[in-house]
Amino acid sequence: LLWRDLHVRDTRRINGKSETQNVRIDIVVEGVTEGELWRCGLEFDYANEESFYCRPLRLSEDRAPERMAIPPKAGLDRIAFLPPMSGLAANETRLDPGAINVRLGEGRTAEVLRNLCYQIATSPEGGESWVRLRGRIADLFRVGLDEPEYVAERGEIRMTYQDASGIHLDISASGRGLQQTLLLLAHLILNPRSVLLIDEPDAHLEILRQRQIYQVLSETARERGSQVILASHSEVILNEAADRDVVVAFVGRPHRIDDRGSQLLKSLKEIGFDQYYQAEQTGWVLYLEGSTDLAILQAFARVLDHPAGKALERPFVHYVENKPGRARDHFYGLREARQDLQGFALFDRLDMVLDPNPHLEQWMWRRREIENYLCSRETLMLWAEGEGEVQFGALFRSLWQEQMDASIRKIESAMSVLGKGSPWEPGTKVSDDFLDPLFEDFFRSLALPNLMRKTDYHTLARYVSRETLDPEVSEMLDRIVAVCEKARPASLP
């Protein structure tokens, strides 16, 4: 599983002959130990499903290559791995340090939390370390940890805590966030002057505590002289780390994303890592006014059976309230991090000329807004027929249709009197000037609360007939597909 797509052999034809080579994983690590810079490279070679070879990195492709020396300083660093919290066992047998490390390596963190705390409390310097650990937990969770005790009769370690009411409870009764935090801090305290590999330290923690645990981990590691390498999907932690630490994205080819200059850092703060991550994964970004626009486009694609339906299933979409400047600023910020990013922006009709950009296609509807393409007498009558049957049964289809016809004529006449034109004209702001009052009148006449607000207008799209849909809709969907096809998602080489 360490080899991508299980690809462990590479076969090529050279001078008419097939030659097979192993696909090696090469890793080079650089560090500073006791004031001395060192560099160490290792290569990993697939042997079989259960094993692989590990050797010093070769310095050439000769049959008997010279290999990189392993510097003595590289062996002085201690490495400690901590997987995420996996619950908490009801009971814990007292374990020796070696047995604790084995369980941690196997991901059995549920079986060692009490043992780690017991080691801290009973170590020669345990008094001070235990007091500091209790203080950290008290500050974070407002509970008091009781010192772990060894129950010789059962060979087990018992550990309790005191809640805000003064009641003593077993540590297993605490929340998963407290247990996760206690595991992290105990592990840090027991492994001073080490390189700590921590997987998902934010697991089981709400957003506010994620930022807090990052601060606590950083401070504790600094106090213990340790270095922390952590894996996380948390946007909160990534944003915190952008200014002060090394951040590496493992999307596509692993690469640093904290060293691209102040413009990128500014972009990361304003845009957020979650959006950068989506840009890396999809290779393109879609800009729309709001979420209803996406729902309408998806519905149009279904009506037309258009290939854009697939592109719109899980797009990286950013809503910009029909403001081209916001779309451009956001897109340029993302391109600081990913130079080949493609973009497509679609706006309601604007009284301006959109700036051309070869990487960010910008279009506007010829009609006033996207809802204009939903709004026709036929569509509204079909909606009334269909929804009347769905809501109240087949007997109400004709009643809803009759009332919809009456409401259309009433609001159409009112618009004409007020000088707002016709609802069927392309320049009418149909959502505000026609559909809003139409459905208010329609449901009021039926003695029902308004069940059709602007956020629901996208449901009209399913009643639009393929034959009457403006050809411009299909053209716009074609353009979206073209941009999607130019994109290079992270999964592609």
Q: How many beta carbons lie within 10 A of that of residue 445, not counting itself?
A: 14
**pLDDT, tens digit, 9 for 90 and up, residues 412-430:** 999 999 998 999 999 999 9
Please, how many CA atoms are within 13 Å of residue 17, restricted to the half-sphere of its CB? 3
What residues pair up with 51 in beta bridges, in sequence order? 48
Q: 124 vs 66, 78, 128, 194, 396, CA distance in Å? A: 47, 21, 10, 19, 82
| Domain range for 18 | 4-72
Rounded Cα–Cα distance for residues 459 and 466 (Å): 15
Residues 391, 418 share a domain: yes
Question: From the centroid of its chain, how far is CA 308?
Answer: 23
Rounded Cα–Cα distance for residues 123 and 174 (Å): 25
Rounded Cα–Cα distance for residues 110 and 121 (Å): 19
Residue environment code for 71-88, b if the CB has 16+ CB neighbours within 10 A, otherwise e? eebbeeeeebbbbbbeeb
Rounded Cα–Cα distance for residues 367 and 378 (Å): 18
Binned at pLDDT 50, 70 and 90, residue 67 comes out as very high
Rounded Cα–Cα distance for residues 149 and 374 (Å): 71
Residues 188, 104 share a domain: yes
Do residues 172 and 88 lie in contact, with contact meaning Cβ atoms separated by under 8 Å? yes
Q: 64 vs 58, 60, 61, 299, CA distance in Å? A: 9, 9, 8, 63
Nearest-10 crossing angle of helices 273-282, 235-244 = 100
Q: Which range, of 67-71, 243-247, 434-438, averages the lowest pLDDT?
A: 243-247
In a domain, 389, yes or no: yes
Residues 68, 93 share a domain: no
368 or 34: which leads in pLDDT: 368
**Which of 201, 226, 245 corresponds to the end of one domain?**
245
pLDDT at position 493: 40
In a domain, 151, yes or no: yes
pLDDT at position 492: 44
**Count of domains in the chain?**
4
In a domain, 331, yes or no: yes
If 0-12 CB within 10 Å is exposed, 13-18 middle and 19+ buried, where does residue 340 land? exposed
In a domain, 438, yes or no: yes
Residues 387, 346 share a domain: no
Residues 350, 283 share a domain: yes
Residues 150, 58 share a domain: no
- Range 103-116 average pLDDT: 92
pLDDT at position 315: 92
Residues 184, 122 share a domain: yes
In a domain, 264, yes or no: no
- Range 236-255 average pLDDT: 72
Residues 353, 457 share a domain: no
Rounded Cα–Cα distance for residues 250 and 234 (Å): 14
**pLDDT, tens digit, 9 for 90 and up, residues 176-208:** 889 989 999 999 999 988 998 988 888 777 777
Do residues 187 and 196 lie in contact, with contact meaning Cβ atoms separated by under 8 Å? yes
Structure tokens at 174: 């605490």
Give the global pTM.
Answer: 0.60
pLDDT at position 131: 93
At 493 the three-state DSSP class reads coil
In a domain, 261, yes or no: no
The overall average pLDDT reported for the chain is 88
**pLDDT, tens digit, 9 for 90 and up, residues 355-375:** 888 899 999 999 999 999 999
Q: Which of 3, 111, 110, 87 is nearest to 52 (CA)?
A: 3
